[in-house]
Amino acid sequence: MHVETLEEALLPFREDELLEEVVCTVKSGKEAVVYCCRGGPKAPAELVAAKVYKPRAFRSFRNDAVYTEGRVVLNRRF
């Protein structure tokens, strides 16, 4: 099983110039970790949040559509 690294998870946002670097961890939970990041040139703010979901095998829920319903998911893989 491939476990995605933080850098791999954030790469599309770096490529789209939405974030430059991770500043710190804001909160870590059972399903995801939220990071405070310095926004890139195309970001709407100087600081942005990046929520990175843990791999399904390590989450306590299996149907994440319930949690992401109505949200803008910027990850191209979904």
- 17-76 tens-digit pLDDT: 999 999 999 999 988 999 999 999 999 999 999 999 887 665 555 555 655 665 555 655
Q: What is the pTM of this model?
A: 0.69
Q: Give the pLDDT confidence score for residue 4 in this predicted structure.
A: 77
Contact 34, 27 (CB under 8 A): yes
CA distance 50 to 57: 21
> For residue 78, is pLDDT > 50?
no
If you ran DSSP here, which 8-state letter would residue 41 be given? T
Six token digits for residue 57 = 């095998």
Q: Give the pLDDT confidence score for residue 19 in this predicted structure.
A: 95
